Every structure is written in structure tokens, then in C-alpha cells.
Amino acid sequence: MTTAQLPPVAPEVTATLVEDLSPRLRKRLDAAVTKLGSRPAHRDGDTVTIAVDEETDLRLHAPGGVVTTADAITCGCLLAPACVHRAAAACAAPTADPAPEPAGQPDPPVAGSASQTDDTVSAPDVASPAQRAAADAVWSAAAAVLEAGVDGAGAVAQAALLRTAHTARLQHLPRVAGAALSVVTLLRAARAGDPSYRTAGLVTALAELLGTARRVETASGAELAAVRGRSRRPYSPDGSLRLYGLFSEPVVSDSGHGGVRTWVAGPDGRLLTVGDVAPGGVGRALGVADRAVRLGESALTHRELGRAGLAVSGATVSPDGRLGAGKGVRAVTAGGAAWTEPPLAALWEVPPSQQAARALRSTSRYADPDTGGSDLLFLDVELRGPVREPGGACLLALCDGGIAVRLTVADDDPALAHRDNLMLLATAPGTRLRIIGRLVPALHPRLALLACSHPTGEGTIDLGFDRLRRADLPVPDAHVQPFPPEPGDSGAHSPLHLLERRVEQTVPAGRAALGMLGDVSGEARRLRRAGLPTAAGLLTALCASAARRERDHFGRLLPADADGFASHWLSAARYTSAVSESLCAAAWEPT
């Protein structure tokens, strides 16, 4: 059985089933989850049946595709319903996304607000006591996960975090709830040995969760609205739009969703997207690219729209640039524009450093949602050849200002064309291309390559869907050096990694990993000599907090201060992120 065979389970269902277990069965829960994962399962309509053993079946009933009640998971063993199998099945299944609030429901009032009239001015909006209590519970659960690390954050710790996520959603804190669900999903991927899991992703998710939960207590007004987030994406009217297609990219998420996102631009250069993403994985992503766009009366497919245009009336747009497909939207096919023609050509005229700064603002790890902006860069480059890296090879290219840019694969899935296309382009040094890529924050200029002009100069290539052939490439220029020096690599030798690795080291192994380090004064001195005294102070405080254990009057160890350690870790994580983004922006400056 694989996780994908099980229907998603609502967070509150998993939390309830784990909380109902006896202390003895909770100790056996992680082993039960692993054992259940090796058992055969089959689906019959809305019901998935797992053969626990030769005589016992476990059933998950998911009307509408989601298990929404604890009674929907039944077991035929003698201990049911108090057995460990029901909770193990819920923990093994994917976590369902929370149901959105009914459309048209206004945002709830917050404590401290007053009605706005001509004669009164509303008081600053602040979180209600119930919201602050929910955020505190999320903080405590996340701090416990950080304390234990991935190795110790089993099903019980995950269930506690799911319970607090459900409570946060009931208190109209969808951003906090969503961040908690992301942490649980990554924890499960890490413990299952998922090859797509990256420690850096869990570091970011935990810091986002802790930081957002902490800000609920102090935020007010517009900041509180951003911290609360939205349970559904708002769309606002945008009148009539004339849009020009840029390219289409496959979308494949860790949750099993797949689809396509097509990027379009307006006459003023504003970037918008038309998407179609649903459960289905990479197979759906490849199939839906040739389906009609869900927008008005247009008969264009996504791949056709990436090279054509649309005239839209009654358009609605979300804050992050997604086009709505409501009943009042009308759209008809219109002529497109080449990348070298107005208005699209203006996208490549912006200096790379300005484009990188804009992309960093929109992709900051801890930026508030609905900030708008795009993480795409539009560059004219000359390919120089492959460059070996610890994680594999990438393609080096030179763009304006002598900036050496590393071009990487946007998605490693072998069913997509990204990797094959990049490897083929690496065999043609000297080729000049107009490219579109997604900024990858790093200490050197780095992009995930998404689309490029055709090497022959005719048309464009969606690198996730279209496949280049060797006959499409020009003869390599023998005079081009495939491995030129890399100018402008500012920050590449920064000792910031001394703090970053301690932040990341905590996530897999927990607080104890830092508590056993001993003296870190040598690393702190290196940071100070490099002009990073704040980093040195954060490193010293983090390791001291990890090692600190108080004793009572009888000499017995008291419980560790998980909250204090989480605060020090969060400060270090946010600092390293901010400095890394600054170094990334500096690397894009022309030499």
C-alpha cells in the first residue's frame, strides 16, 4: 500500500483518533503506521479497504473523496473501536486541506475594534483572546516538534500539531493552520524517506509556523489581517484586459496534485496566470496541458495560449495574479506577440539586478501572502556549458553585465522534459537564447529554467512540455570556453553557513544535537572576523540554550525550556534567511 492509495483525512479526525488511544497504544502507534503501510489495500467507490491480517479488514469511507468523521474509519479487530489500527490509518493517510469558509461570509471582527462612523475612529484591531490562545497552542506544539526533531516527532506529536491547526482554523487563523499542516506533511515525508524531501524546506516551514504564531499576539490592523491570512483566495473585478501569452509550465505538488499554469502579460507588463490544478500528479499535468483553458468562451488549450492571446471582459484577479473563471468572465481568442515584439519585449529590457530584487521581494521565505509580484526573470543569455555541483550538473550562462547564471532543472520528474532539455542545451555552448526562469535564492545567480526561445530563432519552447531535438541546436562554437571564470559571485565564501548548518542540524535530530556540541567559540570568532557579529551572537545563544538544563533542589533534571529554545532558533533562522537574500541580491549586481 502507498500513501497515495488512501483518501485524505481531515486533521481533526486524525487528532481525535490519536487522542482517544491509551498511553500504551500511543507508544505502539509509529510501529503500527509502518506495519500498516506494508499491507495490501484496494478501493471500491468511496471506500478503501486495508487487509490488516488474513482475518481483519480496516475500512476508510470517504464520501466526496475525504474522510471527515472518526466513525468513517472502522476496523474489524476484537479491540475496535479502541484499537490502534484506526489511528494508524489516519496517520498514514494524506492530510486533507481544510474546507473553505462559505463564499460571501465576511471576515470575523477582532477584539478592540469599533464601528467606523463619521464621528468616531476605530480603535486598532488586535487578536481576540481565543485567537491568541489558539496561536499559543500552535507555538507550543511546533516548539515540541523542534525539541524532538524529525526522529522524535512521531504520530503523536504530529496529531498534537493537527489538533492545534484545527483549533486555529476555527478561530479564523487560516494562515497559521495552513502552516501547521505543511509542517506535518513534511514531517511525514521525512520519516517515510521520501526522496523529494529537503531539510531546508522543513526549516522554512517551521520558521514560518513559529513566526506567524508569535506575530498573532502583537499584530494589529493591516498586519493582523496579513497574519490571519485568508481561507479562500479573493478575486476582485479588473475590467477588460488584453493579454499576451508567454509560456506554460507543468505543476506537480508533493500532495499528489498536478496540472498546468499558463503565464500571460498585459500591455503594461503585468504578469497574470491561468491555472488548472487538481489531484492527479504528473500524469494529469501532461494531459491537461492540451485541454481548453477554463476562461470564458476561449477554445485555446493551455499550450496554445502560451503562444497566443486573449481579450477578456469582466475579468477578476486575485492578489497573487491568478485570473478568475467566474460566470461573468468573457474571453475570446486574440492575436499573440513574439517575445521580441511589444509589449512582451519590454520584459527583457529591465536590468537583471532589478528583476532579481523584485523576485526576492515576492519570494521571501517569510513574506506576507497576497503581496503580489512575480519570481520570474527574463534574460538574454549566452550558453557556456555544464558545471558540476554537489547535487548534480547545471548549465552555466552569461547575461548582461558579465553575470554568470547557473540554470537548473525546474522539476526532476523523468516524465517531464525539463532535465532532457537542459542536458541537450548544455551541449551547445555559444548559443544565444532569450529565456524565462524562476529565481532560486542562493549566494550566486541561479534560475530554474522554464522556457526559452527556440535555438533556430523560430518560436519558443516550454521546457517542461516540449522536447528539443539535437537537430534543433546549432553547431557548437569551438572558440567558446565551456568553463569560464565566475565573476560577481559575492558572498560565495561567506561563513554564514556556520550558523545555517546549526539551524538545519536542529530539525532532523532536535535540540539534543546542538546541546552536545560543546564550545562553539571558534565558529563565533570566524563570524565576527567576517563582519557578522549578530550571527556570532545568535550562534552562541542558540547553542547555549540547547545545552542549558536546570535542576531542582534534589538535583533532578527539570524539563528543558522548549519555548526559549524555539525563540532562539527562530531568531537564527530568520536572520540567516534575511542575510542570504541580501547576498543573493548583491550577486545579481553587474561586475
Alpha carbons 409 and 430: distance in angstroms, whole number: 20
CA distances from 355 to 140, 247, 316, 577 (A): 39, 18, 26, 19
370: left (phi over 0), alpha (psi -120 to 50) or beta: left
Length of the chain measured in residues: 591
CA distances from 418 to 263, 372, 397, 409, 516 (A): 17, 27, 17, 6, 43
How many other CB atoms are found less than 10 A from the CB of residue 467? 12
Alpha carbons 219 and 217: distance in angstroms, whole number: 6
Exposed (0-12), middle (13-18) or buried (19+): which is 505, by Cβ within 10 Å? middle
Q: Count CA atoms within 13 Å of residue 500 on its CB side.
A: 15
- Could you tell me what percentage of the chain is helix, strand and coil, using 3-state DSSP and rounding each to the nearest 5? 40, 20, 40
Alpha carbons 419 and 426: distance in angstroms, whole number: 11
Q: Count CA atoms within 13 Å of residue 40 on its CB side.
A: 4
Dihedral in degrees, nearest 10, Cα atoms 33, 35, 38, 44? -60
Residue 573 is placed in which grid cell? 533562522
β-strand 309-317 against 257-265: which pairing, if any? unpaired
pLDDT for residue 113? 41
DSSP string, 397-423: EEEGGGEEEEEEES---TTSSHHHHHH
Question: What does the H/E/C string look like for 81-97?
Answer: CCCHHHHHHHHHCCECC
Residue 144, helix vs strand vs coil: helix
- Contact (Cβ atoms closer than 8 angstroms) between residue 91 and residue 84: no
Query: What residue ranges of the chain have pLDDT lower than 70?
Result: 1-4, 98-124, 233, 254-255, 364-373, 391, 476-493, 591
Residue 451 is placed in which grid cell? 522556457
pLDDT for residue 371? 55
Alpha carbons 315 and 531: distance in angstroms, whole number: 51
Q: Cα angle vertex 171, ends 168, 172, to 5°?
A: 90
Alpha carbons 558 and 552: distance in angstroms, whole number: 6
Residue 490 is placed in which grid cell? 559575492
- Contact (Cβ atoms closer than 8 angstroms) between residue 448 and residue 440: yes
In this chain, the answer to whether the domains covering 236-337 and 350-472 adopt an identical fold is: yes
User: Where are the domains positioned within the chain?
Assistant: 3-92, 129-228, 236-337, 350-472, 497-587
Residue 132, helix vs strand vs coil: helix
Q: Of 149, 164, 135, 130, nearest to 18 (Cα)?
A: 164
- In the numeric block, the cell 558540476 is attached to 388
Q: Which residues of 307-345 are buried (b: 16+ CB within 10 A; e: fewer)?
A: bbbbbbebbbbbeebbbbbeeebebebbebbebeeeebe
CATH topology of domain 236-337: OB fold (Dihydrolipoamide Acetyltransferase, E2P) (2.40.50)
Alpha carbons 431 and 381: distance in angstroms, whole number: 8
pTM: 0.81
pLDDT for residue 101? 47
pLDDT for residue 255? 62
Residue 534 is placed in which grid cell? 549578530
Architecture of domain 350-472: Beta Barrel (2.40)
Question: What does the H/E/C string look like for 333-393?
Answer: EECCCCCCCCCHHHHHCCCHHHHHHHHHHHHCCCCCCCCCCCCEEEEEEEEEEEEEECCEE
Residue 478 is placed in which grid cell? 569551438
